[in-house]
Amino acid sequence: MISVALVHHPVLNRLGESTTTAVTSMDVHDFSRTCAMYDASPVYIAHPAPGMHEMVGDICGYWLEGEGGMRNPGRRQSLENLRLAYSLEEVIDQAGASVWYTSAKPPVASTTPIEEVARIEGPQLIVFGTGWGLDHHHLPTPTGWLSAIEGIGKVRHLSVRAALAIYLDRLRR
């Protein structure tokens, strides 16, 4: 079983400082839809602010209980597995899984290719950071760090939604 978490704190800003980012509706929809396509569940969104939880609740309510779900059952189905948490620690407690962090620049020399995670028995949690990535100085110790996605271009920073899709596609092959 694979579950996924999108973490908004603690993450880095462009200066490398620890910060908190805002939840975007695009992340809510795209993370849920991509995870539904690759059968990753549940999908956690971790943010410390109650106001962000309210916003995500409003978005999900429209699709799960409101008119949106009637018009687009696929969107409702995608969002059914979304869970909110106030911290990554809360997600880890709920998931009860081995924890794998992602980064364009992992802070450790030894990383694990995503394809190897598919061969590990038991539940696995893959954690993604917003902003400029996870602040590894303020995170619980993981099972390990996943190998970075290597491209051929000059840019070294994918959108978190693109990284999620690539990791899950490689994991399910």
pLDDT score, position 95: 96
| Architecture of the structural domain at 2-48+81-171 | 3-Layer(aba) Sandwich (3.40)
- pLDDT band of 70, cuts 50, 70, 90: confident
Q: How far is CA 75 from CA 80, 86, 130, in A?
A: 9, 24, 23
pLDDT in tens, 8-56: 999 999 999 999 999 999 999 999 999 999 999 999 999 999 999 999 9
pLDDT digits (tens, 9 = 90+) for 94-121: 999 999 999 988 999 899 999 999 899 9
Structural domain spans, the chain? 2-48+81-171
